[in-house]
Amino acid sequence: KQWYQRRVPITVGHGLFIEGAIWDRTEMKMGEAAPKILYDTVPVVWLKPIETKNISKEGIYEAPVYKTSERRGTLSTTGHSTNFVMFMMLKSDQPEEHWVNRGVALLTQLDD
């Protein structure tokens, strides 16, 4: 069998936080954060590997996921910070620049 015909494990993750926006649980997409609310919890996410050619990026914000809110670390050989985990695609009705200007990112933990 070819690699793409084999069953690929699917991962479910929880415990992420979104900074600079909210996750609208009614509309199932990103929304504007309320005043003075810095973080929102992200519902359980389903991580399913698929080929990039099968991904539509329309109506999507590729949110960076960081280990901590500092968003910095040592530069690794991949060119990313050691604090960087991955990009996660989130539904949005706003253009990507809207969320980039707000500094929206996902975090695996909050500061104490």
User: Any idea which of 37-51, 73-87, 88-102 has the lowest mean pLDDT?
Assistant: 73-87
pLDDT greater than 70 at residue 43: yes
Q: What is the pLDDT of residue 1?
A: 46
pLDDT band at 76 (very low <50, low <70, confident <90, very high): confident
pLDDT band at 49 (very low <50, low <70, confident <90, very high): confident
Worst-scoring range by mean pLDDT, 41-45, 51-55, 73-77? 73-77
**Parallel/antiparallel/unpaired status of strands 45-47 and 11-13:** antiparallel
Using the predicted structure, report yes or no on whether residue 109 has a pLDDT greater than 70. Answer: yes
Structure-token match 């530069």, residue found: 75
Residue 7 pLDDT greater than 70, yes or no:
no
Do 30 and 92 form a contact (C-beta atoms < 8 A)? yes
Distance CA 24, CA 32 (A): 9
Mean pLDDT (the chain) is: 84
Coil, helix or strand at residue 67:
coil
Whether residue 59 is predicted with pLDDT greater than 80 in this model: the reply is yes
Question: Which of 89, 102, 25, 93 lies closest to 63, judged by CA?
Answer: 89
